[in-house]
Each structure stands twice: as structure tokens, then as C-alpha cells.
Amino acid sequence: MDEQRDIGPKIEKSFELIGKRWTGLIIYVLMSGPKRFSEIHSMIPDLSKRMLTERMKELEDNDMVVRHVSAERPVRIEYLLTKKGTELGKILGPISQWAESWIKE
């Protein structure tokens, strides 16, 4: 990139959101389809329930995730990505491929 660009507020806000710990991983997990809270938590075991609750609320507030409550008994609550969240999730696939190649365990 030869030209210097001014980083606008939209770019700054997007990096702030996805740069928060666990956010990208939660979106990555939801790319495979709707999940219950407990399923997300079991797929990311180092993530505390408190922090998962906080991140899910942030993702909902930013229209990236929808909390769907079923009318059946017992009540079933699932989280799924919105179109906005899915579009972001699409760029996380190449990041995971990069990680497989370059990150050491």
C-alpha cells in the first residue's frame, strides 16, 4: 500500500468490535449454523459463561447475531448470525487457514 489513508470511524469501530477477545471465535463457531448457548460454550471451553454472555449481547447490539426463542416446550434459545454477521464470518475462514499454516501450538 503506497498511499496513506485516513482511517475513518467505520473502520475503527469494526476493528474495535472484532478485535475484542473471543468475538471472532464466536462468529466463527456460529458460521456452521445456529447454536445454543451451551453449545457455543462447549466449543470454546476457555471462554467463561459471563464473558460469553457479554460478547453475545455486544454482537446482538451490533446486529451481528440474533437470539431466537422457540415457542415449543421446553423453550429453546438459539443464536444465529445475521447477514451482517455472516459476511464478517466469511473473512474468518481465510484467517483460520492462515493460522493452520503459520501459528505454532
Domain containing 97 — which CATH number? 1.10.10.10
Q: What is the pLDDT of residue 59?
A: 97
Task: From first to last of the 105 residues of the chain, give the pLDDT tens digit.
Answer: 455 677 888 888 888 988 999 999 999 999 999 999 999 999 999 999 999 999 999 999 999 999 999 888 888 999 999 999 999 999 988 988 999 999 987
Largest Cα separation within the chain, whole Å, is 59
Within-domain flag for 8: no
- By three-state DSSP, how is residue 66 classified? strand
Domain range for residue 41?
13-102
Q: How far is CA 16 from CA 80, 86, 87, in A?
A: 21, 18, 17
CA 46 vs. chain centroid, Å, equals: 15
Q: What is the pLDDT of residue 3?
A: 58
Question: In terms of pTM, does the model score above 0.75?
Answer: yes
Number of structural domains (the chain) is 1
Which grid coordinates belong to 80? 444465529
CB 31 within 8 A of CB 57: no
Peptide bond into 9 cis (omega under 30): no
Q: What are phi and psi of 72, to 5 degrees?
A: -75, 165
Within-domain flag for 5: no
